[in-house]
Chain A
């Protein structure tokens, strides 16, 4: 059957169409990821906890709040704007209309790019609550220059300084004193989120109203700061939520697309090529070569794959290439055995004998007469093998043996499972990566099913 015939067959069935459209969607997503995301995303961002510090930890996706109507507070960054000068200081101010039913997950003060030439400046950031209390959020003392350093000095340009208010005793005492004096209640442990709360007998609840954040920069003339802002962590985040490190799971899942497809395609092409080549050789040339290849294939085909994969990746310190190499080494025999038996039938056919009688060389006979006969089967097997390779990598990752430099769906799931996401109910952490794995499998299985009549001609008349 020709390639266009196979395409027609594939798109004529319901499952073939489902498979092709799913796969096309995945390819598009992968292409976009490859263009838009940095290739060193894993090592540079994903594995660097500092990068994710501004995001809330282990919160569900935003659309979940929308569906369930649960209390919601969006991830907010409040950048303070310059508002004139006082006696020896510059003020930066901004206000927030707080009208949410959920408290922020945490509060961070972010200071970027402090420049000075003489004495180190200091920065004071305060929060003015609608009930009249002012709380010190941060008191920043810029470290003085070392002896070797030459001015002008720059601090915290990249990465910026991030201050957690609850680390200062002033913050904790101001809130505790105010709560017991004004409301006669304790909130238990004061954390940065309680700066937006009032205590009740059932615990802290949000205090609605207008909040003002004021930063004062005390420094010599000519000194300055690039920006001062306050980050309020959301009660929900993004399209896929975050994990306990605060990583945006949506980015990790996106990055998993090209990785999964790459692993599947690469391993599958290699396995198919090796399997077919060895099958062709042993079926066509027969004799000692056949015997040798088939014996080896028989032995390798009987090796249980997963235990060996686990063992080898444990010892060889896993990289994505080792994993794929092991997969390929242990997966070719199935195809070799079947291709050989198909070749044995094909070379008995009259047109092959005719070609040989006309003096066609071995290569010509194999390429022009034998290969086209088995090509549809081989192609279908190639499609079949893709999800197995992806699942094998995911299984290894789930056992903690994945390539640590590349985030994959299996690894996201593994961390989720190991951190107890199943018990704590962090469903957004374990369900989506598995669902994506299944979806990938479904795409390829549907295509393979659509190609079935090609492989099994009996089904064509049924």
Chain B
């Protein structure tokens, strides 16, 4: 998810002045939106040209009364022999004029009120918001009717004013909320700090960012105004001698078109309104998807989403059915263990773009997790570590897709499961029973409308259908006790717990079925340091007691070194170094690891200079050829820009198990980074800062 966010970010944080241009580009790419735009434009053109292209005077009576559609009268005639097509064309003028006229005025008023209220804040905001809320709940049609009724024979202008008065509130409320959030953004703060006048900030920094919302509000007001005008005209509250689509329906109703079966009289007007409304709604869908990119994602329940998950070739799975064997009592993990529980090979996860382009977020990642081991995965945001965590459990969503690789899980009884080959039901069994996840933010990962107890219990209901309600309740209390939450908190909702308590509850959810593996995706990032410490200690204590294996993902390298048995460092979607935590800390083999270790202080250990890494993480869409780290690497040489280094074992003097993906470890590289020489390159990495 982090990678996805990183990928989406440039779109959201682009130059504000280009809001309108980007919106246009986005809209013109969707066929439905283009259809909507074309239809709307066609109606506008017809409305403008009406006097020149109408075959008859819309009010002229003739002897051919109530005639059906014919060559002379394409849409037939009315009771008085008037031509319906001419009435429709002239009617388009009034209906479109009211629609767009009211939308212009309404939107202007909405922008004025919304932006003023949002930008100024304080008492002015309170009053304007209250006013908007009052107008929002007042039923608009009766109010419109009252207003229109008192304006005797109100023409289009009167109707436009009445619609403006009754419909400005919605847009004002949305724009106020947007302005409020924009006002706190950096570029607005910066403009204010430089003393730019308020109106200039609003016109140059705020409004361009609201183009999409303003457009959406404008278009829905057009539809609303056309509908309202039609209703008013139909009720006889507008000037019934001026032709509009509503007026046609009014005369059709009073002329009993229904009873005489003159469908051509009343069908075209309503159809025209509906078609224009649909066309505008189609454009608005496009705008909605622009405002809220989540709407572009495919849903969970579709076959397409299921299929898209794994495109890698599937193998026939090993049939399960062997009786569950309890795992051996928690034995301390040792580095020479070969009891592999999770084996990931050459895993590749792509984000598939709109145009079919593929962005690899995880590329050729292989690692093994052994029983009882804590594997720490480190990396900056955008390095692919969260995507990897989700891919292991197949929780990634389109546009992410596993395009290559294998994931094998070994049960305590020795049988092996091909995770990528599991079908729906098997996957549901595998999840949580064998492997659970603790999410980054418990605040967002716990369902806000369910009690904590219920969120633990539903796992048990789903996987242990034979347990009775009492047994389940006892298990919930037991689990809460394990993580140190008082039993009476089972009835609390997530928002009623403190941040640390929520994260413990998350862990309790993760432990519910006593899984073999727990994947922890930055479980302590959102917490303050003291709580962080408590949670980490709790996790380590539980691991020792219950004996599960952990994949721990974080950007906090010092934490990782402290609690992991093995560390894997990710960069640009690949693992660039993997080693026992101890070896890693003492002898980092990859220049990037070295840079990471040099960017934070450690408690204890030798003093060293903090240098950090120059530059910023790579854009996954435009990864450099060769080593992704080359542009930032102090030790890069020619070959680094052309060849992608593979993860290979690096011999170390102490017999360590380090693997690194760096060309410096190949024979013949300049400053060859073999174990014996690591001291010299250590100087190289830190030397730059001196």
* A and B: bona fide binding partners: no
B interface residues (Cβ-Cβ under 8 A, vs A): none
